[in-house]
Structure 1
C-alpha cells in the first residue's frame, strides 16, 4: 500500500492535503472546483496521495464532509490515492464511516485512505451540537477498534456488533457469493501527540502527525510510535507521515504574504473570532498590537514559505529530524493560484514524474 521508495529525487514520499480553504471573496462552489483541479494537478505531477480534512462552522474551510468531496474525486482522478486526513471519529458512528468508506473503496478500489482523529475540528459549541449523544473523546481507542471491526467484518463472537455488518464490505460479498473485496480502505491514526502515536503503534497502523497546528513535540511522538509498534496484518514495520503548512512561490516576498494570511486566520481563531482567510493587503494594513504581531510572526514562520528550493530545504531538514517516510504539503494562503503553484514548484524541484491521464473511467469493475 505504501511506495517502496520515493519517486523523483525527494528523500521522502510527497503528498498533498487540501483544507478546502475559501479566502474572503471566494464562494464554496469556486473552492470545490479548485479542489478538483488541484487533485488532478497533484496526480499529474506525481504526488502519492491527496487528502482532505473535516472542519465545521468555519467560513474558510468548506469541507464539513470530506467523504462527499472524495466521492466526486474518485471520478475526476485515475491513480492518486484519495483520503480523509481526517475524519474526526468522535463526531460520527463508526458503522456509518465504515459504510461510507466502503462505498468509496468500491468506487476507487485500492486508492482510499481513512485517517481518523479525535479532535472535534471546530469550536466548543459546534462540537457540542455534533456530539450531543455522547461527550468528549476519551472513548477514541474503542471507537477505532469498532471501526476496524466493521471494516474487516471480524468482531469477536461475543461482541454486541457481531451480527451488524457494514455494506459494502466482506459480509456482503460472502452473502452474494462473489469474491471478497481485494482491497479495503487503509486506516491511518492521526494526531499531534504521543497519545495518538502510541495508539497507532499498538494497532500496527500508519501514523500521520499534524505539524501545521502548532509547536507539538513530533520527535518524541515519532520515537514513541516506533517503540510501541506491533506488526499487524496490514503493516509489518512502522510507516509515518508528517503534514506541514507550506507556501511556495516564485517570489519569496509573495510567499510570505500568503503565509501571513493563514497566520492572521489563526490569530483570529485564538481570539475566538471567525476563522477567515483575509487578502494579503488587509493583513498588511492590520494595526497589530505587539502581542498580536508576535503571534502573527510565529505562525507565519511555522507555515513553511519561500521559493521552491527554500521550502524543499526546510522539508528535508524536518525529515532528517523526524525520520518520517512521507511529507504531506498542506497548501496554505489566500490565493488558490498560489496553492496550485506550491504543488508545481515542489514537484519541479524534486523532478517528480509527470503522469498523463489515460482517459479511462476510474470506477469499480476495471
Structure 2
C-alpha cells in the first residue's frame, strides 16, 4: 500500500492541489491520477432502496469500497453477494453482526435502517470497534443522539452522519459565497421540504420505527439547510402542525408542520415540512448584498440554483459517491468537509426537532 507521503508526491507532480477542506471537485472525484492510498472498507446495514442507492454510488468511489452486508432478509443478502461480489464471510444478520469485531476486512458500517433502530445498532457497531456511519436522522431524539456520540467516543471510533449535501458541489459553492460575504448581512431563509407519501403501512408512518412523520424524514433537510446556509445556530423556534388525515397520520406522526427559527444575528427562517404536498424541494436565502435560490435543493440531483450573480454551474456528481469518498478522507486524513458530518452535528439537528415538536404541542416559542 502506497504511503500518504508518496501519494501526495505523485499529486504534486501533476500540479493538483490538496484541499485544506474537502472539495467535491477534488482529486478523488475528478482526477485521472490512480489512487493508491488507504481504502475504507464498508459494510451496509439495511438493504432497502436507499442502501441500494448508496451501494450503486460506491462503485464509483476511489477511497471507499463496499465489502459487506448486514440484513435480516437472506434473499437480499444472496442478491447483493451476486451483484457486488461480497464474500460469505462478510455477510451478517441483525442477530450476529457483533461478530464483525473479529473481521479485519470491515472498517466501518453504514447504518441505513429505520430511525428507531439507529441508536442500538450504532452502539453495537461501535462496541465491535468499527467506525459508524449513520443515516439521518441519527435517532428519534437528541438524547438518543448524544448516547450514540458518547458510545462512539468511548469505543474510540468515528461517528459520522449521512449528510450528503455537505459534499454536494452547488451547495458547497453557496456556502463558500456566504463565508466570503457575497450575500452581505443575511436576513431571511426559506426552506420547503415535502412530498406526498404513498403506502400507509410503510415504516415511515410507524411511530415506533420512525420517531415521527415528515419532520424526521424530510423536514430535517430544511433544518440542516437553514443552519449551513445562514452559518448560525438558531436560538428559538415556533411551530404549527396541520393534520388533514388522522387515519393515515396517526398520533405521533406529523403530516405537515410549518416552523420558524430565529438566529443570533437577527436572521429568521420560515420552513415547511410535509407528507401531503409535492414540488416542495426549495431553498431561498436573501441578504443585504444578494440572494440564492435552489430548486431542487436537496434531492438526489442534479441540484439547480441561481444567485444574484447568475446560475450555479458546478457539475453534478452522484452525492453518495462524494459523501463516501469524503468520509474516507475524513477518517484517514482528517480532511474535513465545509460543514461537519460528525455525531455532534447530528445532535444539533435532533435538539431542534425536539424543540419543534414541543412548540407544536404548546403553541409557544421554545428557546434553544
Normalising by structure 1, we get a TM-score of: 0.30
Which is richer in strand? Answer: 2
Structure with more of its chain in helix, by fraction? 1
Relative to the length of structure 2, the TM-score reads: 0.30
